[in-house]
């Protein structure tokens, strides 16, 4: 069995992998430029970033299985990146309020010179947020380092009317597709012995 290397320093992705019995042997943050290219759709951006991360780390570890992912939150064709400050977080929440948006998750794996990638899109609908709700969410700080300035697995879960598609994709990694991708490359989740 090859070693599994996660091309991401995301604690959420580590926790999600552990949830399905997968523990990477090494963490290697890829450090790629996450800026969209001119005319690039949010879905293509998520896919490209996942592939770029995997390719970069796979160059350093050619004998290992490398897994990478990226999450892009979008309102229409507009990418809602990680908010840099409170004002940016307020703008994101204002755009999401009372609307449906999409979360595109790219997941990619490299092994033996080949790269396989999956794209998962989840639709999320927010309730209309009051100024007091936005203020309280900004104060709690949960928006920091989150695409779209929210964490569905936290307090922002109270803003979500419905989710169509993979919930774990919105958290940071589509688990079904990730497990299938890794299984196709020979890595099975570890199940406890009975």
pLDDT tens digits for the chain (194 residues)? 789 999 998 899 999 999 999 999 999 998 889 999 999 999 999 999 999 999 999 999 999 999 999 999 999 999 998 999 999 999 999 999 999 999 999 999 999 889 999 999 999 999 999 999 999 999 999 999 899 999 999 999 999 999 999 999 999 999 999 999 999 888 876 655 55
- The answer to the question of residue 194 being in a domain is no
Number of C-beta neighbours around residue 97 at 10 A: 15
Number of domains in the chain: 1
User: CATH code at 59?
Assistant: 3.90.950.10
- The answer to the question of residue 116 being in a domain is yes
- The answer to the question of residue 98 being in a domain is yes
- The answer to the question of residue 32 being in a domain is yes
CA 106-58-189 angle, to 5 degrees, is: 65
Active site residues: 70
- The answer to the question of residue 40 being in a domain is yes
Q: Is 53:32 a contact under the CB 8 Å cutoff?
A: yes
pLDDT for the residue 63? 93
DSSP string, 43-54: HHHHHHHHHHHH
Bridge partners, 74 (sequence order) = 79, 102
Residue 119, phi then psi, degrees to nearest 5:
-120, 130
- The answer to the question of residue 22 being in a domain is yes
Domain span at 21: 4-184
């Amino acid at each position: 069995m090859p070693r599994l290397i996660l091309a991401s320093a995301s604690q959420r992705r580590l926790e999600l992998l552990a949830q399905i019995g997968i523990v990477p042997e090494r963490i290697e943050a890829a450090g790629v430029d996450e800026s969209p290219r001119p005319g690039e759709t949010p879905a293509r951006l998520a896919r490209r970033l996942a592939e770029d991360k995997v390719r970069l780390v796979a160059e350093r570890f050619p004998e290992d299985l490398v897994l990478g992912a990226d999450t892009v939150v979008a309102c229409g064709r507009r990418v809602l990146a990680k908010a840099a400050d409170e004002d940016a977080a307020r703008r994101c929440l204002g755009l999401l309020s009372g609307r449906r948006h999409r979360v595109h998750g790219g997941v990619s794996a490299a092994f033996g010179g080949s790269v396989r990638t999956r794209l998962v899109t989840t639709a999320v609908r927010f309730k209309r947020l009051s100024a007091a709700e936005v203020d309280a969410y900004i104060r709690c700080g949960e928006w920091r380092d989150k695409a779209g300035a929210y964490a569905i697995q936290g307090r922002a879960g109270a803003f979500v009317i419905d989710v169509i598609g993979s919930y774990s994709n919105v958290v940071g990694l589509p688990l079904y597709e990730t497990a299938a991708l890794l299984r196709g490359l020979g890595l099975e989740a570890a199940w406890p012995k009975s």
